[in-house]
Amino acid sequence: MNYRDRHVVVTGGTGALGSAVVAALIEAGATCHVPYIDAKEADRFVLRNHPQVELISDIELTREADVARLYRRVSKLWASIHLAGGFAMAPVAETTKAGLMQQVDINLVTTFLCCSAAVSSMMRSDEGGRIVNVATRPALEWRTGAGMAAYSASKAAVAALTVALAEEVVKTGILVNAVAPSTMDTTANRRAMPKADHAAWAKVEEVAGTILFLAAPENRVTRGAVVPVYGRT
Domain boundaries, the chain: 7-229
Please report the pLDDT score of residue 73 as a whole number: 95
Please report the pLDDT score of residue 225 as a whole number: 98
Residue 207 CA to residue 210 CA, distance in Å, equals 5
Q: Residue 39: which H helix or E strand, with range?
A: helix 39-44
Nearest to 30 by CA among 46, 7, 55: 7
Average of per-residue pLDDT across 202-226: 97
- Which segments within 12-119 are labelled E, that is strand? 31-35, 53-56, 77-82
DSSP secondary-structure letter at 171? G
Q: What is the pTM of this model?
A: 0.96
Residue 226 contacts residue 179 (beta carbons within 8 Å): yes
Please report the pLDDT score of residue 233 as a whole number: 83
Torsion of CA 216, 112, 115, 183, to 10 degrees: -10
Please report the pLDDT score of residue 59 as a whole number: 98
Band of pLDDT at residue 60, cut at 50, 70 and 90 = very high
CATH for the stretch 7-229: 3.40.50.720
Band of pLDDT at residue 126, cut at 50, 70 and 90 = confident
Please report the pLDDT score of residue 148 as a whole number: 97
Q: Residue 10: which H helix or E strand, with range?
A: strand 7-11
Residue 130 contacts residue 219 (beta carbons within 8 Å): yes
Please report the pLDDT score of residue 218 as a whole number: 97
pLDDT, tens only, 138-175: 999 999 999 999 999 999 999 999 999 999 999 999 99
Q: What is the mean pLDDT of the chain?
A: 96
Average of per-residue pLDDT across 23-43: 96
Backbone angles phi, psi at 55, to 5 degrees: -85, 135
pLDDT, tens only, 172-197: 999 999 999 999 889 889 999 998 99
% of the chain at pLDDT higher than 70: 100
pLDDT of 56 over the 90 cut = yes
pLDDT of 29 over the 90 cut = yes
Residue 177 CA to residue 159 CA, distance in Å, equals 9
Band of pLDDT at residue 232, cut at 50, 70 and 90 = confident
